[in-house]
Amino acid sequence: MKTIQGHIDGSRLEADPQLECDCLIVGTGAGGGVSAEILARAGLRVILLEEGPYRSREDFHMREQEAYPDLYQEAAGRRTSDKAIQILQGKGVGGSTTVNWTSSFRTPEQTLETWTRDFGVQGCSAEELAPWFARMEKRLHISPWTVAPNANNDALARGCRALGWNAKVIPRNVLGCANLGYCGTGCPIDAKQSMLVTTIPAALKAGARLVSRARAERLVIKGDRVTGAQVTLMDDYGQPRARKGIRIRARHTLVAAGAIGSPALLLRSKAPDPHARLGKRTFLHPVAACAGLMPEPVKGYAGAPQSIYSDEFLWPASGAGYKLEVAPVHPVLMATLLTRHGQAHTELMASFSHTQATLALLRDGFHEQSPGGRVRLDPYGYPSLDYPISDYLWDGVRRSLLTMAELLFAAGAARVMPLHLDAEPYRSFRDARRAIGELAMQPLKAQLFSAHVMGGCAMGDDARNAVTDSAGRHHQLESLHIIDGSLFPTSIGANPQLSIYALAGKLATALADDLAGGVQTDLAATHNSPTITG
């Protein structure tokens, strides 16, 4: 770990440093990172709090063994409370952006229209957000990937072409990407323009301080004001250090602990929730997947993990829509997703380098039968997500498996295996279609995943339906904002990071205006440190 100005490692801290600031930001992912740069450069005294460790490129060895326990929530084994959906979420400075796969999409217009029409969200029309998308695309070097897709992504392109389905190139937030393919274990050359290498260093340069291995346990609430947070310091294993806590005093607090994390913090803080909205409508983009055995080597571990997508099935006339992409194929990821054992598992693993992995992410939250999940606290005060899967979603899962099987055979797969406990590798689309039609759609039968947790602190101007207003201001508490993916009133229908960046840019700029009165607006300008007062 390199040392950096303004960083305090909570795993080593012995005495309470009695920290105080204008704005405390809890969480350093997409929402916290973008907000930190804007607030710090507006001259505000900012403290960033992060539960996970501060790592940098020297620490990223492209080893799943190191990255999953260190950089993922619950060692990458987080699951919904019934264990049916595995949830990947980041933990560490940069949050999920440190380990994400760099796909960068603007929020679909249909999604924004739904928010305006059905959820009382103001200021989030496509026109109003367009300048914020443009600004964040510039700041994070987002542009369509110009290098040829790797074989894993090319199979998706090929299958779509053969079937006449649309397929496009994915824009990525990278600068000088060497096409290594290890985005999920942290970029070893700082090419990925995550918060870790962009907004957070800029915020620190502007005088912000960062406390890592420090979990906001609860917000300190005096009357209807939030005055800071009670913080637990964490050890190298991400466990609370015995009796090590500190208090941070803040004029204003911005919660950006991500979906699941943000509602959990507010629940632990017993924040007022008169309309029982907190933690509700948490969305996952539940992902179903198919593995294809290809005659040619795929080497799904090498090359930009995601570079091609298809929206052919995203907005169907009825039923749950889904977006098609691929998943990188690394040894632990593949070994744990192929849920057989013994010889059968070993044989599938023998085809590791010939395995293609297609995924379908379901757009949840747009239908009455898709109200999402609910975050609650377990007896230890940790979040637990109940996410019942309705028949509406199961139907989407089944249709997506059919789509993916058809696609993979069209792309030349010799065998296709839907990820389901009762499925086998099928030799033709006919066989696969018959089998998929009969697979039991039940929790812990069909294997489902998520790398996109959203919602749980929905924004909207009607306090009866939302936790914050459209500016991210908490409806009941003063001096509290929430700015991260938990604000979304539905899922996005595309990989969410750019939606969070743009929204955070907009909301944090307004907040900076409120708190400091006047903001430097050009994020990409050279970084000069404003004088810090107080």
Ligand X SMILES: Cc1cc2nc3c(=O)[nH]c(=O)nc-3n(C[C@H](O)[C@H](O)[C@H](O)COP(=O)(O)OP(=O)(O)OC[C@H]3O[C@@H](n4cnc5c(N)ncnc54)[C@H](O)[C@@H]3O)c2cc1C
Instruction: Tell me, by CB under 8 A, how many residues bind other proteins.
Output: 51
Instruction: Tell me, by CB under 6 A, how many residues bind ligand SF4.
Output: 14
| Cβ contacts of 276 within 8 Å, gap of 6 or more | none
Angle, CA 460 vertex, CA 454 and CA 461 arms, to 5°: 165
Q: Which does 346 bind (CB under 5 to 8 A by kind): ligand SF4, ligand X, other proteins, none?
A: other proteins
Rounded distance, CA 490 to CA 233, Å?
A: 33
Candidates 4-12, 97-105, 149-157, 428-436 — which segment interacts with ligand X by CB under 6 A? 97-105
What is the Cα 437 distance to its own chain's centre?
A: 32
- Among residue numbers 282 through 301, which ones bind other proteins (CB under 8 A)? 301
- With respect to other proteins, which residue has the nearer C-beta, 77 or 412? 77
Residue 263 Cβ, how far from ligand X at the closest point, in Å?
10
- With respect to ligand SF4, which residue has the nearer C-beta, 307 or 450? 307
One residue of 11, 114, 179, 529 binding ligand SF4 per CB under 6 A = 179
- Among residue numbers 224 through 283, which ones bind other proteins (CB under 8 A)? 237-239
Asked if 373 contacts 282 with a C-beta cutoff of 8 angstroms, the reply is yes
Secondary structure class of 53 (helix, strand, coil): coil
| Residue 99 interacting with ligand SF4 (CB under 6 A) | no
Q: Check residue 89 and give left, alpha or beta (phi > 0: left; psi -120 to 50: alpha).
A: beta
| Residue 49 interacting with ligand X (CB under 6 A) | yes
- Residue 354 CB: number of other CB atoms within 10 A? 20
Residue 354 Cβ, how far from other proteins at the closest point, in Å?
8
Give the nearest residue (CB) to ligand X: 29
Q: Which does 74 bind (CB under 5 to 8 A by kind): ligand SF4, other proteins, ligand X, none?
A: other proteins
One residue of 74, 395, 424, 431 binding other proteins per CB under 8 A = 74
| Residue 67 interacting with ligand X (CB under 6 A) | no
| Residue 191 interacting with ligand SF4 (CB under 6 A) | yes
Q: Which does 179 bind (CB under 5 to 8 A by kind): ligand X, ligand SF4, other proteins, none?
A: ligand SF4
What is the Cα 208 distance to its own chain's centre?
A: 24
Per-residue exposure over 248-261, b if at least 16 CB sit within 10 Å of its own CB, e if not:
bebbbbbbbbbbbb
Residues in the chain: 534
One residue of 72, 115, 145, 182 binding ligand SF4 per CB under 6 A = 182
| Residue 38 interacting with ligand X (CB under 6 A) | no
What is the Cα 326 distance to its own chain's centre?
A: 16
Rounded distance, CA 447 to CA 356, Å?
A: 17
* String of contacts with ligand SF4 for each residue 303-332, x by CB under 6 A: -x----------------------------
Burial of 234 (0-12, 13-18, 19+ CB in 10 A): buried
Residue 258 Cβ, how far from other proteins at the closest point, in Å?
16
| Residue 189 interacting with ligand SF4 (CB under 6 A) | yes
Using the structure block, give the residue that is written with the tokens 């991400």.
238
Residue 186 Cβ, how far from ligand SF4 at the closest point, in Å?
8
Rounded distance, CA 46 to CA 472, Å?
A: 18
Burial of 377 (0-12, 13-18, 19+ CB in 10 A): middle
Asked if 466 contacts 473 with a C-beta cutoff of 8 angstroms, the reply is no
- With respect to ligand SF4, which residue has the nearer C-beta, 29 or 456? 29
Residue 509 Cβ, how far from other proteins at the closest point, in Å?
36
What is the Cα 317 distance to its own chain's centre?
A: 28
Tokens of 524: 């990409």
Indicate the helix (H) or strand (E) that contains 232.
strand 225-234
Asked if 314 contacts 323 with a C-beta cutoff of 8 angstroms, the reply is yes
Tokens of 105: 């999409």
One residue of 10, 92, 149, 181 binding ligand SF4 per CB under 6 A = 181
Rounded distance, CA 154 to CA 144, Å?
A: 15
| Residue 30 interacting with ligand X (CB under 6 A) | yes
| Residue 452 interacting with ligand X (CB under 6 A) | yes
| Residue 435 interacting with other proteins (CB under 8 A) | no
One residue of 3, 146, 318, 343 binding other proteins per CB under 8 A = 343
Asked if 195 contacts 523 with a C-beta cutoff of 8 angstroms, the reply is no
Per-residue exposure over 285-303, b if at least 16 CB sit within 10 Å of its own CB, e if not:
bbbbbbbbbbeeebbbbbb
Q: Which does 306 bind (CB under 5 to 8 A by kind): ligand X, other proteins, ligand SF4, none?
A: ligand X
Q: Which does 97 bind (CB under 5 to 8 A by kind): ligand X, other proteins, ligand SF4, none?
A: ligand X
Q: Which residues share a beta bridge with 25?
A: 48, 254
- With respect to ligand SF4, which residue has the nearer C-beta, 55 or 192? 192
One residue of 136, 151, 157, 183 binding ligand SF4 per CB under 6 A = 183
Alpha helices, DSSP H, located in 212-328: 261-268
Rounded distance, CA 292 to CA 304, Å?
A: 19
| Residue 64 interacting with other proteins (CB under 8 A) | yes
- With respect to other proteins, which residue has the nearer C-beta, 42 or 423? 423
Q: Check residue 517 and give left, alpha or beta (phi > 0: left; psi -120 to 50: alpha).
A: left
Binding site for ligand X (CB under 6 A): 26-32, 49-52, 88-92, 95-97, 99-104, 184, 215-216, 256-259, 261, 265, 306, 451-452, 484-485, 495-497, 500
Residue ranges binding ligand SF4 (CB under 6 A): 102, 174, 177-183, 187, 189, 191-192, 304
Which residues are near other proteins by CB under 8 A?
58, 61-65, 68-69, 74-75, 77, 82-84, 180, 182, 188-189, 237-239, 301-302, 331-332, 334-336, 339-343, 345-347, 349-350, 352-353, 378-380, 382, 384, 421-422, 442-445
